[in-house]
Amino acid sequence: MHSNRHVLSCALVSLICLGSLPRCARAASECDGWQVSHPDWIFCDDFEKGGALVAQGRYFEYDDNKGDFKPAEGVGLHGSTGMRAVWQSAEVDAGNLKVGFGRAPSTYFSKGIRTDKDFREVYYRMFVRLQKGWKGNPFKLSRATVIAKADWSQAMIAHVWGDRANGLQLDPARCTDEAGAVKCSGYNDFNNIQWIGAKAGTTPVFSPTYSDKWLCVEAHVRLNDPGISNGVQEYWIGDTLEAKRDGLNFLGGYKAYGINGVFLENYWNSGSPQLQERYFDNLVVSTNRIGCADNSGAPAILPIPEAGSTVPAEPQGALNLKGIPAAEALGRAWSMTGRELFGRKIKVNALVEPNTAD
Q: How confident is the model at residue 305 (pLDDT cuts 50, 70, 90)?
A: very low
pLDDT of 12 strictly over 60 = no
Helices vs. strands in the chain: H and E counts, helices first: 3, 20
pLDDT for the residue numbered 322: 40
Which one is predicted more confidently, 6 or 182?
182
Q: How much is the average pLDDT of 14-22? A: 36
- The chain-wide mean pLDDT, for the chain, equals 81
Pairing mode, strands 199-200 and 168-174 = antiparallel
Interatomic CA distance for residues 251 and 57, integer angstroms: 28
For residue 10, is pLDDT > 60?
A: no
- In the predicted model, what is the mean pLDDT of residues 1-26? 38
Tens-digit pLDDT profile for residues 263-274: 999 999 999 999
The DSSP 8-state label assigned to residue 40 in this structure reads T
Amino acid letter at 194?
Q
172 pLDDT above the threshold of 60 = yes
Please give the domain boundaries of the chain with CATH numbers for all domains: 1-30+304-358 (no CATH), 31-286 (2.60.120.200)
Q: Does residue 79 surpass a pLDDT of 60? A: yes
Higher per-residue pLDDT: 23 or 151: 151
pLDDT at residue 285 in the model:
98
Task: Determine the average pLDDT of the residues in 55-76.
Answer: 98
Query: Is the per-residue pLDDT at 354 higher than 90?
Result: no
Q: 88 Cβ partners below 8 Å, 6+ apart?
A: 68, 272, 275
In this predicted structure, the answer to whether residue 39 has a pLDDT above a threshold of 70 is yes
C-beta separation of 258 from 117 below 8 A: yes
Banded model confidence at residue 296, pLDDT cuts 50, 70, 90: very low
Q: What is the pLDDT of residue 358?
A: 38
Residue 111 has pLDDT above 50, yes or no: yes
Q: pLDDT at position 226, please?
A: 95
The residue with greater pLDDT, 331 or 85, is 85
Indicate whether 289 pLDDT > 60. yes
The predicted model gives 236-261 an average pLDDT of 97
53, 172, 216, 308 from 283: Cα distances, Å: 13, 21, 10, 39
Tell me the β-bridge partners of 100: 261
Q: Let me know: does 175 contact 194? Beta carbons within 8 Å.
A: yes
Strands 318-320 and 301-303: parallel
Helix axes 21-28, 4-17, angle to 10 degrees: 140
**Among candidates 83, 82, 74, 80, which has minimal Cα distance to 25?**
80
65 band by pLDDT with thresholds 50, 70 and 90: very high
State mean pLDDT over 279-285. 98
What does the pLDDT read at residue 294? 52
Q: Give just the sign of the alpha carbon dihedral 294, 298, 300, 301.
A: negative
- Of 89, 38, 44, 94, the residue nearest 66 (C-alpha): 94
What's the pLDDT at 164? 82
140 falls in which pLDDT band (50, 70, 90)? very high
- Residue 319: pLDDT above 70? no
pLDDT band (50, 70, 90) for residue 293: confident
The predicted structure's pLDDT at residue 344: 31
199-209 pLDDT tens trace: 999 999 999 99
- Residue 10 makes CB contacts below 8 A (sequence gap 6+) with 2
